[in-house]
Amino acid sequence: MTLKIVSFLCLFILFKPTQVSCQSSIIGVELFGKASYYESKFYGKKTASGEVLKKNMLTCAHPTLPFGTMIEVTNLANNKWCIVRVNDRGPFAKGRVLDLSHVAAKKLDMFQQGIAKVKLTVVGENDTIYIERPDSMIKSAADLIVDEPEAEETKIPLKPKPKTVRKKPSKTLKKKRASRRKTSSPTTKGKPKKTLAKKVTKPKTTTK
């Protein structure tokens, strides 16, 4: 009986470090790509993890990283950074690696360009941070809720739309339009003017 207990404890001790090392194998991994942010119509709806998407929470969507993974995102254009937690799947546009919440995009100052080139560093998992910055106060997922004033929560900036260049109409198109105008305009034929008959006044006769 004692041999069974000892062997069980040995297996447990051997198994436990292996499990921990597998879980933390992605810690410190760095990725590069493009990030965008959610449109306003998605807020208040459920994410792939079952959580409701809120614009004042530092969260993001990633195609493959497990839910609860903590990522440090750096905007390569201005070196601004923030920490977000994966709670959704996406983005599904080619070349993009993250969809960020409203407050995360605001911290990265990416509303002007809409899409930003970013660096991702996995700093934690299971809602816990293991790699901390000295100046960061964020320790877990509970610290990822940002209280914003009501005035800043009114409207979410829209992503800039691509400019559409209007082509000049071709000569054949101009001719067609001109011919349509001629056919559509009513033709007025000149009518003969009415001539008023002049009254003939008879000379007065005087009787002597």
CATH number, position 127: 2.40.40.10
User: Which pLDDT band holds residue 48 (cuts at 50, 70, 90)?
Assistant: very high
Judge whether 168 lies within some domain.
no
With a cut of 70, say whether residue 121 has pLDDT above it.
yes
**What residues contact residue 123 under an 8 Å CB cut-off, 6+ apart?**
27, 28, 70, 71, 72, 83, 129, 130, 131, 132
- Predicted local confidence at residue 13, as pLDDT: 43
**157 burial class (0-12, 13-18, 19+ CB within 10 angstroms)?**
middle
Where would I find the beta strands (DSSP E) of 28-155? 30-37, 59-61, 70-75, 81-88, 96-100, 116-125, 128-129
Judge whether 7 lies within some domain.
no
| Residue of 19 and 129 predicted with greater confidence | 129
- Predicted local confidence at residue 156, as pLDDT: 52
With a cut of 80, say whether residue 98 has pLDDT above it.
yes
- Predicted local confidence at residue 86, as pLDDT: 97
Task: Give the count of domains, the chain.
Answer: 1
Judge whether 5 lies within some domain.
no
- Predicted local confidence at residue 117, as pLDDT: 96
Judge whether 107 lies within some domain.
yes
Other beta carbons within 10 Å of 118: 23
**103 burial class (0-12, 13-18, 19+ CB within 10 angstroms)?**
buried
Judge whether 178 lies within some domain.
no
Say if pTM beats, i.e. exceeds, 0.85: no
Judge whether 85 lies within some domain.
yes
Judge whether 201 lies within some domain.
no
Interval 4-31 mean pLDDT: 55
Judge whether 15 lies within some domain.
no
Interval 143-155 mean pLDDT: 57
For 106, the domain range is: 24-139
CA 192 to chain centre: 71
